[in-house]
Amino acid sequence: MKRVAAHHIFCSPEHILKLSVIEQDNNDIITRIFSLNDNTAEPAHTIFYDGVITIPPVSLSEANCITDKKINDFTLLNAEKIRSGEKILNNEKPLLIDFGTSDINKINEYLILLADRLIEFDVFEIINACTFRPANILGRTKTITEGIHSNLVNWKSTSRLTTI
């Protein structure tokens, strides 16, 4: 069993918890989510992450879904094809980010390159754009909740991602 806590747990775009804990069994099944202030668990066995815990980024291109009509309602940012100096505008369509990979190291490289161009977007919009929105398009689990199997990642910033 492992317990991880963070400043924010982005369970879904509609459900963001502050100072909370996720408890998982040895098979990465979420067994409990609770407030860090709850004191029902020994804090010594909880790893605290500075940042936001969420589901890992989801790649539409890895799923061969990048040309799907479902993405027409979004502003698609294909991280593999972004040109140096190209501006990313915050317009009326929600942002959708595709890194072309699920490899966290490669995603971190892209995030560093894109950081100054994503300045108009808040951290939750950026996370939503590459996690929950593409998961929703693919019909995958799109919430962090008890009873589901989930790998988790920590966003220390919008340019640094680590697996938990």
pLDDT of residue 20: 94
Structure tokens at 142: 């799109």
pTM of the model: 0.86
Query: Quick one: pLDDT band at residue 63, thresholds 50, 70, 90?
Result: confident
- Quick check: helix, strand or coil at residue 7? strand
Structure tokens at 81: 């094809």
**CA max distance for the chain:** 50
Per-residue pLDDT tens digits for 95-104: 999 999 989 9
Query: Quick one: pLDDT band at residue 49, thresholds 50, 70, 90?
Result: very high
Instruction: Output the DSSP codes for 30-82.
Output: EEEEEEGGG--S-GGGEEEEEEEEEPPP--TTTTT-TT-GGGGGSEEEETTTP
Does residue 68 register a pLDDT over 80? no
pLDDT of residue 39: 65
Domains detected in the chain: 2-55+149-163 (2.30.40.10), 69-138 (no CATH)
Does residue 40 register a pLDDT over 90? no
Per-residue pLDDT tens digits for 100-159: 998 999 999 898 888 877 888 888 999 999 999 999 999 887 799 999 998 899 998 666
pLDDT of residue 159: 62
